[in-house]
Amino acid sequence: MDSWQERIARTGFFTAAVSYVSFWILDALRPGFVARYVSVHLFLLAAMIFGAWWAVSARSYRDWPFAQYVVAALFGIVLATVAWTLGAGFESYRLLAVLAALVTPATVLSLVRIV
């Protein structure tokens, strides 16, 4: 059974994360629609705070190693794509940055699982 703190933190995290993605998409479709009134990044900050609170207050850890590595691999591909796109100015180090971005999520996951 989850504690009341864990339930509030989980609900706050999912609410802030869904709000951030929704408002960001709305603002991308129609620039200024949301950003004129409030910064969408405040929802990202709230998601990070609620996520940290949820991580601290969680009593049980659900171990799904396959799903964790699949998400890490997908995130690594996204990071490698971003590194390739934004690394045009660093031609000599571009491939190194892409490789580092590709393996970073799996490395961080492996280090977190050790602890």
pTM of the model: 0.57
Range of the domain at 98: 65-114
E strand or H helix that includes residue 81: helix 65-86
Q: pLDDT digits over 31-87, tens only?
A: 888 888 998 889 989 999 998 888 788 766 566 677 778 888 888 898 899 888 888
Question: Do 51 and 73 sit in the same domain of this protein?
Answer: no
Question: Do 48 and 70 sit in the same domain of this protein?
Answer: no
Question: Do 47 and 73 sit in the same domain of this protein?
Answer: no
Q: Stretch 15-28: mean pLDDT, rounded?
A: 91
Question: Do 28 and 72 sit in the same domain of this protein?
Answer: no
Question: Do 11 and 46 sit in the same domain of this protein?
Answer: yes
Question: Do 36 and 71 sit in the same domain of this protein?
Answer: no
CA torsion, ordered 50, 53, 54, 55, to nearest 10 deg: 130
Question: Do 84 and 102 sit in the same domain of this protein?
Answer: yes
**Domain end position, chosen among 57, 75, 94:** 57
**Domain end position, chosen among 16, 35, 57:** 57
Question: Count of domains in the chain?
Answer: 2
Express as a percent the part of the chain with pLDDT over 70: 91
Cα distances (angstroms) measured from residue 93 to each of 56, 64, 80: 38, 35, 13
Question: Do 8 and 53 sit in the same domain of this protein?
Answer: yes
Question: Do 21 and 52 sit in the same domain of this protein?
Answer: yes
Indicate the pLDDT class of residue 12, thresholds 50, 70 and 90. very high
